[in-house]
Structure 1
């Protein structure tokens, strides 16, 4: 429904008290590092998280992922 309304799907899933279906699998692929990254990122502002996301995207591009 969120897609039909042009809304952020992840935000709607969160409002329902759930996490997106792909997130548990992402965490399970890196069971030590991903939870640590989430804990470290907890408390950052939306702008700081955007900057972090952009940095991660660039790292992935540089690494050929």
Structure 2
């Protein structure tokens, strides 16, 4: 995915942070047009802003 410029990788402490690029987001949306809406509907819409921040912090530690 990195070779296709769909993600970027950055060293982060002892790990690596992988971030979806704009091109990567377009590729995923093209493959699964309803993916963004489904993720929002089933996950992020059900969480408060504080819960999303907590989830973000936990996932970053993994």
Category of TM-score, reference length = shorter chain: 0.3 to 0.5
Whose strand proportion is higher, 1 or 2? 2
- Structure 1 length-normalised TM: 0.35
Q: Give the TM-score taking structure 2 as reference length.
A: 0.36
Say which structure is richer in helix: 1
Which protein has greater RCO, CA pairs closer than 8 Å, 6+ apart? 2
